[in-house]
Amino acid sequence: MILFFALCFVGVAIAGATAFVIFWPLTLVHVRDRHAALAAELGEGAFAKPSALAWLLRGGYRNAGDRNLSGLATPARISLLVILFALAASALLWLLSTVVGG
């Protein structure tokens, strides 16, 4: 039963990844088109760049004062948090199943 819940969390992580793949590129395109200084700060290839992902997790987009940017970046941030939480929970449940089952 523990592994079933671990697998369910993997499914939640996949759902979060789907939302992330939708909203994060839209956020980056908005930044590129309307916030040149911020785009330069994030740099090229920001989709998988750790510093850009850290900026998203910190909520750095709020400093721009652009409601449209917040409207795109907030779902990307939530989906990234869901991915991280679900994968961590899945890993913990898997470890628990090895301890309890072994």
Q: Decide if 99 contacts 92 (C-beta within 8 A).
A: no
5-46 pLDDT per residue, tens: 999 999 999 999 999 999 999 999 999 999 999 999 999 989
- pLDDT tens, residue by residue, 41-55: 999 989 999 999 999
Tokens of 44: 């090229």
**CA 75 from centre of chain:** 9
Asked if 68 and 30 touch (Cβ cutoff 8 Å), the reply is yes
- Is the model's pTM score more than 0.85? yes
Give residues with Cβ within 8 angstroms of 50, minimum separation 6: none
